[in-house]
């Protein structure tokens, strides 16, 4: 049954309102970043965009943030995904408890988290490393609520019990079952968790600033103290950069992908 013109009109109206709501701040940022630096200048200028590559700490901050995001995504694959799958398969009675534990970071303010982890990171900075990459540990904790919900939704949408039993019947080991059967089924949930990880790492400011780490957002805030135009230009460029980065992550399965399960 095709939707009526009233339904189509309602859909387009909602899409238009949401699009306007999302694009208006981006346009405002672009408008502000192209304004002249001084009052005697007239017209639009790209000076704020031209000085972005010359910012001394910006490049290294972006590199560190991307490495941190990669570490967080690795921890998601190695620790969070197997734990969530194991709870759903073998320990379904603990689902509520695990979900409650994963939701705790949402209930704790960032300043409380900083007070709690400050001694730990003081020890890490003295004995191991002073690099902001070490923040991947706390970021992995902060992303738990979102990652768990994304993975849980993907698990609830797929009948992993039947898939696991079929893999076991064919003689697949636990590792083979996870890598060849369960993980492809959770592709959407894992990708959603990866998207959130990248967004959180590149957008987090409070914890890194209070712990005196020069992350991407902290560097932007420091640039904003001297030049608001440049800070806004960097923020807008980072939005486009993250968008391109997320679009570059493959979201579709390869064609003619064959599930090969060893039965030997």
Domains recognised in the chain with CATH numbers: 55-248 (1.10.3720.10)
Comparing CA positions, the residue from 200, 217, 211 lying closest to residue 72 is 200
Q: Are 136 and 130 in contact (CB under 8 A)?
A: no
Q: Which of 65-69, 80-84, 156-160, 248-252 has the lowest average pLDDT?
A: 248-252
136 has pLDDT over 80: yes
Residue with tokens 């089924």: 185
Q: Which residues lie closer than 8 Å to 227 by C-beta, 6 or more apart?
A: 37, 48, 51
Give me the pLDDT at residue 7, please.
79
- pTM (2 decimals)? 0.74
194 has pLDDT over 60: yes
Would you place residue 250 in the very low, low, confident or very high pLDDT band (cuts 50, 70, 90)?
Answer: low
Give me the pLDDT at residue 259, please.
41
76-123: per-residue pLDDT in tens? 888 888 888 888 887 878 888 888 888 888 888 888 888 888 888 888
The torsion angles phi and psi of 40, rounded to 5 degrees, stand at -80, -15
DSSP string, 141-170: HHTHHHHHHHHHHHHHHS-HHHHHHHHHHT
């Amino acid at each position: 049954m095709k939707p009526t013109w009233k339904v189509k009109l309602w859909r387009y109206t909602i899409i238009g309102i949401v699009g306007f709501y999302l694009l208006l701040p981006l346009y405002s940022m672009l408008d502000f970043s192209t304004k002249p630096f001084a009052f005697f200048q007239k017209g639009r200028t790209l000076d704020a965009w031209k000085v972005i590559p010359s910012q001394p700490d910006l490049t290294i901050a972006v590199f560190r943030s991307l490495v941190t995001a990669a570490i967080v995504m690795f921890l998601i694959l190695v620790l969070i995904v197997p734990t969530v799958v194991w709870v759903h398969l073998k320990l379904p009675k603990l689902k509520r408890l695990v979900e409650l534990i994963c939701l705790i970071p949402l209930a704790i303010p960032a300043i409380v988290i900083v007070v709690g982890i400050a001694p730990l990171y003081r020890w890490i900075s003295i004995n191991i490393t002073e690099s902001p990459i070490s923040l991947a540990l706390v970021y992995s904790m902060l992303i738990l609520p979102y990652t768990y919900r994304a993975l849980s939704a993907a698990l609830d949408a797929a009948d992993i019990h039947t898939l696991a039993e079929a893999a076991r019947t064919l003689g697949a080991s636990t590792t083979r079952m996870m890598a060849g059967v369960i993980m492809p089924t959770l592709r959407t949930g894992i990708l959603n968790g990866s998207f959130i990880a990248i967004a959180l790492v590149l957008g987090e400011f409070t914890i890194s600033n209070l712990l005196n780490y020069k992350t991407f957002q902290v560097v932007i805030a420091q640039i904003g103290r001297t030049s608001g135009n440049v800070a806004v230009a960097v923020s807008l460029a980072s939005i486009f950069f993250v968008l391109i980065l997320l679009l570059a992550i493959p979201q579709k399965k390869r064609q003619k992908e064959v599930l090969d399960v060893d039965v030997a």
